Amino acid sequence: MPVEWTIHVYTGNERFAGTDSNVFIRLYNSEHGYSHEYELTHDNWIFGRYEFPLKNLFEYGAHDRFRIFTEKIATVKMIHGRKLNI
């Protein structure tokens, strides 16, 4: 049975903090297991009541939320994020 996660991504307020790159995450548990790698895109983005549904993600000073579904992985001990430059 899949487990639903809400991932919150806060982009910094420093100059050039945003990115247009593809962003991926992977969840790790305490037993050396891990989830698949998930891309954070508009397909799994949770937009708020006052947000336009096609805004740019990962912009300067932004708070973006994403919904992913994983296999059961127990307690998450680490999250690995990476970006793929385009």
DSSP string, 26-63: EEEETTS-B---EEE-TTTEE--TTS-TTPPSS-TT-E
For the stretch 22-63, pLDDT in tens is: 999 999 998 878 999 999 999 999 987 777 777 899 999 999
Domain that holds residue 55: 3-84
Q: How confident is the model at residue 86 (pLDDT cuts 50, 70, 90)?
A: low
Total domains in the fold of the chain: 1
Flag whether pLDDT at 2 surpasses 70: yes
- The more confidently predicted of residues 64 and 47 is 64
pLDDT of res. 82: 94
Report the pLDDT value the prediction gives residue 21, as an integer from 0 to 100.
92
| Other beta carbons less than 10 A from residue 2's beta carbon | 9
Indicate which CATH number applies to the domain containing 61: 2.60.60.20
Q: Which two tokens stand for residue 52?
A: 């336009």
